[in-house]
Structure 1
Amino acid sequence: LDLVDLQKELQKSRNVFPENPSVWVKDLAGYLNYKLQAPRSDPVLSQHPHDYPYCLVSKELRSIIRSLLAKASDFLELFFDHCIYTMLQELDKAQGESLHGYRICIQALLLYRPRIATTNLAKYLEVLRSQQNRPAKCLTVLWALGQAGFTDLHEGLKVWLGVMLPVLGIKSLSPYAVSYLDRLLMMHPNLTKGFGMIGPKDFFPLLDFAFMPNNSLSPSLQEQLRRLYPRLKVLALGARPEAALHTYFPSFLSRATPACPPAMKDELLTSMSQCLSLDPLSFSVWRQLYTKHLAQSSLLLNHLLESWESSSKKVHQSLQETVRSFKVTNEELAARGAAGDQHVAACDAACKELLCKMRGRGFPWPQLLLVLLILAAGFFLHDLQTHGSFQASSCARLLRSSGVLPASQLAWQKVSRACLQGYRWLEHGLAQHGSVAVSVLRPQLELLWNASGEVARAVSLQGCSLLSWLQGSLPCLGDWLQSRLPEALLHLAECVRELLQFVLRSCLLPLLQGLAAALQRGWQRCLDSCSGEVTWACVRDHLVSFTYSSWLYLQDATLALKNWALAMMSGH
């Protein structure tokens, strides 16, 4: 493509229509479409990447297109409609032009403003319905609208729910609708931007398409949609499923009939269990719907019975009230002889088994052990308070008579003797070996300390030079990014840069300075306490003093705890 010739044509258009930028962009699209001729391919370009043909456009041409779109920002919706309708007109011609120029303009436009594709989806849905017998035209419209989703998941879901879900049952359009959804969710693994887009009225038709047999989708498309279903469910439930699940419960319950396909039945029962475990309001919704959905409730009650061991105690507590309510309702229905007696009987049997499960919980061994431990501790403290000392207490007499106390005293004497011998060996052995180690290692440690100081200074100098280089390079980097990124990303990058500078200046540097000062003060105090020279004898004296003070503190704390416990016992 001759860019010089293109610039001349655009300048001619600006000279003829100086106050009408909409003509400029239309002339740009017409010029590109005329010059970029290629053999016609399928309407959705399925053999090419998702950003074809825009991915082949050079940087210079992209810059020209973007600058012209920016000048015509007030006319972009009209320009988008112009490109689509012109493409549809070319498809009516037997020897129509290739559509690559209009496709490039649509992709560049939706890369810049993806919301333009979703401003009037109802109009394009009418176009699809009116052209239903012309698959090429319908697929061309779907391709053009779908380009918004590759930039923004939110807009892509709007397009899919607005124009692709309504045509999902049409044989010629369903493959592209499912493949587009697959590619959209694959390109946006982070689904948070799509939360709130899919509601119950959109979700349950998707559930039916994915699991109900003999629908208008082929088995392969149904299997592909079923693989996408878990992510669609995450999108539907949103960031707080515990606040939304009760609104989905009625539709889950109404579909869970005994004749339901096994795969769908498993999904429905699992989803209803999720509703009951996460959203307590689902229980009240179930109680309101119970009499009208006895067969479905029977399936759910039996499912809860089968999964009883794996369900949480919170569900058990909430379920108990609901099951008791169902039992009363079952008795009333049985007394009236209402229709569907077999479902009433099945529900009543499941309710009885669930109530037996709730009453027949295992023996509470942990609670019993805790009570026994508390009683034993209370008896021991009361015994000490009554007899005045441990030696005179009943516990001591019992331990002496059973032989436990003499054996424990003998073991304690042996342990104490071994610890004393070990301490004496350490006192003499460490003093001797420590002085040798200090005399041998001190020169090497001093060399290591000096080398560490040199390394720290070198790292500091390199860090300062790197920071100064970054400070000088940031303006150039900012200018480069400004020409290639949207304003919102630039604002975000600026905020991140300010945050990093704040953390460096206000947190990291003061922290490092404070740490260095603390180490210096600690070393100086160590030198002062050792009369200017750190020796093994000085270090040993410090360790002995620290151990002795810790032992005294532990004794005081134990005595204070004992006195508090005795005071509490005597007070009660």
Structure 2
Amino acid sequence: MSNGQWEVVGKGKKSQNGKIKNKEEEKKSFKNGPKLEDIMPHSQIKSFYAGMEIDDDRKPAKENKNGSKKKKTQEKKAEPPKPKPPKTIEAAFEAMDPAELANIIATNKIRFSNAPLVWLKEVASFLNSKTQIEVEDPTFTNYPPTYPLSTLPTEIRTSLENVLQDAGKANAQLFFDVTLTALANDMSRGQSVNGHRLLLQMLANDYPEFCIASVQKSASLRNSYQNRPPIGLSLLWAFGQGGLTDFSVGLKAWQELFLPIIELKNYSKFVVVYLSNLLDRHAEMDNKVSLDQLLTMCDMVNSKRNSLPKDLSSDLIQQLTKYKDMYFSRSGNRLQVTFNQIMKKLPNQFLTSYNLDSYTRVLVESLVDCLEKDDSCNATWRQLFHRCTKQSATLLDFINSNWEELSSKLKKKSLKITVTEYKLVSADALKGKKKDETVIKANKICQDILDRMTSTRRFPWLWASFLLLISIGGLVSYDVYRVGGNFPKSASGKILNDLGVLEHSQRAWQKTLSTSARGYLWVETNAPIYYAQTVEICKPYAELSKDVFTVAYKKTGILYGNLKDYIIEKTPVVVATIEHYAPGLVDSVQGYASSGYEVVKKYSSEYYQFTADYLKTKVFVGEWAPEILQTKTQTALNVTRDHMTTYFHWFRQQVNIYSEIP
């Protein structure tokens, strides 16, 4: 203590003037202190820093950080480039590791042994993560119907089929319904759903009935997302997968889930296209359509056709025609009930063949099919005259307008009875005070049909005239030949002489021969000239045709090459599919084919050798020996050539002689 005051003792440092310095002042003084550049020369500074870089332990912190950053950058550059993500579902399947999928399935089976749904959900998550490809068309219109399942590698497909089978049918059906909901929910969140699509397609392929097991739930799910076309179309695509293997499932799915939204613009085309593909796919298979199904289809199409655009309405009617043909191809020959039901569906008015709309035309064609396949339908038709007078007139007019096509299909005897009886019914109707114009027209149609059936065929006058001329010419030639070629002495000449026209006939004949001879000489002289001119004119067109043919040939070659490559590419997929559904079938067929080929080759060779030996020893001997036949053939050719030469010289002489006759 000095000056009578207390002093504060602390750890603070004093400055030159006795004041305490705080930390901030120390930092400022450190910063404001002398710099290394002010003390050392520039050349020594450079060597000083170089020495610091040699000793890693003495590096400043900043230098260590920069150095570590440089090392990390170099390590990143040395890493191999990452593979590009696949752009298609096929490429994603090819890049998928089967071992990884098998490991996930095995692990989940151990961890959740009593929860098969957990296995399947984990598999779906794995597939979704590996196939994150944006799909523009959720219905895969431009791909085969079995896409994308058809592009799945065999190992992965086998693993998926095994886990679905191990889960059991009940769990698989529950998983199918859960996956439909997951498909819609994940699409609404913008997540990848290609794994869901694949599993739904596999389940529908193995169990088609899953697609229509819960129609009400499926319809409710469809209604919830029908205002979002990508999701709605994806759901319809999944509902329709069962129709690839089972026609009845596909048809019910179309009627219950597709048809109710056919009027919506975003769904109309796909609904019609699905029905077309379904009918085309099962047209050749043994799928029987019942009468109730046919009538139901007719009612559905009739109720929806007017609400569609014209082109789609026409396509829908075309599918109804296919469905009708499928019914009649397997309906048998008892169609009286069918005729009765369809006749009542016709409009209660007379429609001519030219005024029939496309739907009514299908109904009328169905009635004609009934008459063609079951003759007893004529009796059923006659019983409906009084109740279906105008409908019957429509059918009669159609038959009359298409008589050339239908006459060979219908039984004329029964049809004649039907038409005659209908004509009597029409006559009774005409007795009233007010004459129905429809009945008058129908009466005229009946008369036209009866006239067609009773009229005889037209006589072939042209052919008859030609044969008559040939016959007369032959008889006259034989008559002249019989008297040595002297026409006046022949019976024909004597008749003409008695009639006084022999001289005129001979003069006309000579004039004909003279004119023909001059024409032949003119043709012989001028034909080469006109031929050369024709060739000269047609040469550019011939060259053009040649070029067109060459281009077409090359295009055909390219098409053939593309088709060949496509077959080569798809053959393993087809073989794998056959092997999956019928193990060992391909090998068996190949074995049988190879054995059959060897047997045919063996016996063909033996029979050929036997036939050759038989012909050499039993047939071509003596007068039929090859050398004698060769000599006779050569002699016959020489004689024929001599005769042709002699005839040509004679013909030339005759031409020269007759050409000089005035």
Scaled to the shorter chain, the TM-score interval is: 0.5 to 0.7
**Alpha-carbon displacement from aligned partner over 1:222-253 (angstroms, at most 9, x marks no partner):** 24434545434433333567666972574266
Find the partner of 1:284 among 365, 375, 379: 379
Secondary structure of 2:285's partner?
helix
Partner of 1:329: 425
Matching residue of 2:395: 300
Q: Look up the match of 2:309.
A: 218
Quick check: 2:211–2:241 contact (8 Å CA) kept in 1? Answer: no
Distance 1:528 1:268, change over 3 A: closer
Q: Provide the rounded CA distance (Å) in 2 between the counterparts of 1:537 and 1:221.
A: 72
Alignment of 1:105-254 (within 5 A): 105-111=199-205, 113=206, 115-118=208-211, 120=213, 122-124=215-217, 126-127=219-220, 131=224, 138-150=232-244, 155-170=249-264, 173-184=267-278, 188=281, 191-193=283-285, 195-197=287-289, 199-205=293-299, 207-208=301-302, 215-239=306-330, 247=338, 250-251=341-342, 254=345
Query: Amino acid of the residue matched to residue 159 of structure 1?
Result: A
Deviation at 1:523, TM superposition (A): 0.5
Check the 8 A contact 2:297/2:320 in 1, yes or no. no
Q: Could you tell me how far apart the structure 2 residues matched to 1:36 and 1:116 are?
A: 27
Classify 1:144/1:501 alpha carbon distance in 2 versus 1 (closer, same or farther; 3 Å).
same
The share of aligned pairs that are identical, in percent, is 21
Measure how far apart 1:73 and its partner are: 4.8
Q: 1:525 aligns with which of 618, 626, 631?
A: 618
In 2, distance between residues paired with 1:496 and 1:51?
25
Counterpart AA for 1:98: S
Q: 2:189 aligns with which of 74, 92, 95?
A: 95
1:84 corresponds to: 180
Deviations 1:515-554 (A, max 9, x none): 31121122123576479x864289869x9xxxxxxxxxxx
SS at 1:109 equivalent: helix
Letter in 1 for 2:208: R
The secondary structure found in structure 1 opposite 2:383 is helix
Tell me the distance in 1 between the aligned counterparts of 2:98 and 2:604.
57
TM-superposed deviation, 1:167: 3.9
| Structure 1 residue 281, shift from structure 2 partner | 3.5
Is the 2:250–2:278 Cα contact (8 Å) retained in structure 1? yes
**Are the counterparts in 1 of residues 124 and 195 from structure 2 also a CA contact under 8 Å?**
yes
Structure 1 match to 2:105: 10
Give SS of 1:518's match. Answer: helix
TM-score by length of 1: 0.61
CA contact (8 A) 1:158 1:197 kept: no
1:512 aligns with 2:609: no
The structural deviation recorded for 1:12 is: 2.1
Structure 2 partner of 1:375: none
Where 1:280 maps in the other structure, the secondary structure is coil
1:355 to 435, 446, 450: 450
Mapped contact 1:149–1:157 kept (Cα < 8 A): yes
Give deviations 1:295-315, integer Å, cap 9, x for gaps.
222222223233334442554
Query: Which residue does the alignment assign to 1:440?
Result: none
> Alpha carbons of 1:77 and 1:232: their partners in 2 closer, same or farther (altered >3 Å)?
same
The AA in structure 2 aligned to 1:25 is: L
Task: Identify if the C-alpha distance between structure 1 residues 515 and 196 changes in structure 2 by more than 3 Å, giving closer, same or farther.
Answer: same
Contact 2:344–2:388 under 8 Å retained in 1: yes
Q: Which amino acid aligns with 1:234?
A: D
Cα distance in 1 for partners of 2:611, 2:247 equals 52
Residue 312 in structure 1 maps to residue 403 in structure 2: no
Cα separation, 2, equivalents of 1:195 and 1:219 = 30
Within 2, Cα distance between the matches of 1:309 and 1:270? 15
Please say if residues 44 and 139 of structure 1, whose CA atoms lie closer than 8 Å, have aligned partners that are also in contact.
yes
| TM-aligned CA deviation for residue 324 of structure 1 | 2.0
Deviation at 1:320, TM superposition (A): 0.4
Name the aligned partner's letter for residue 317 of structure 1: K
User: In the alignment, is the contact (CA less than 8 A) between 2:242 and 2:249 conserved in 1?
Assistant: yes
SS at match of 1:192: coil
After TM superposition, list the pairs within 5 Å mapping 1:362-441 onto structure 2: 362=457, 407=480, 409=482
The aligned runs of 1:443-482 (5 Å cut-off) are none
- Structure 1's 47 and 490: CA in aligned 2 closer, same or farther, altered over 3 A? closer
C-alpha separation between the residues in 1 aligned to 2:196 and 2:594? 46
**Residue 536, structure 1, aligned to residue 628, structure 2:** yes
Number of aligned positions between the proteins: 436
Contact 2:247 2:278 in 1 (8 A): yes
- Read off the aligned partner of 1:288 and give its amino acid letter: Q
Superposition deviation, residue 183 in structure 1: 4.6
State the Cα deviation string for residues 169-191 of structure 1 (Å, max 9, x = none). Answer: 455543331233345456x3x72
Q: Distance in 2 between matches of 1:263 and 1:480?
A: 42
Query: Does the C-alpha gap of structure 1 residues 145 and 405 become closer, same or farther in structure 2, counting only changes over 3 Å?
Result: closer
Inter-partner Cα distance in structure 1 for 2:248 and 2:622:
68
Contact 1:200 1:248 in 2 (8 A): no
Report the CA distance shift for 1:409/1:239 in structure 2 as closer, same or farther (over 3 A): farther
Cα distance per residue 1:188-224 (max 9 Å; x no partner): 3x721274247312431365268x5xx2223342244
Residues 155/334 of structure 1: CA separation in 2 closer, same or farther (3 Å cut): same
User: 1:464-487, CA deviations, whole angstroms, 9 ceiling, x for partnerless residues?
Assistant: xxxxxxxxxxxxxxx999865345
**Residue identity in the other structure for 1:301:** L
Deviation at 1:144, TM superposition (A): 0.9
**CA deviation after TM superposition for structure 1 residue 15, in Å:** 0.6
Using the size of structure 2 for normalisation, the TM-score is 0.54
- Matches of 2:586 and 2:458 in 1, distance apart? 60
Structure number with bigger Rg: 2
Structure 1 Cα separation of the partners of residues 327 and 609 of structure 2: 54
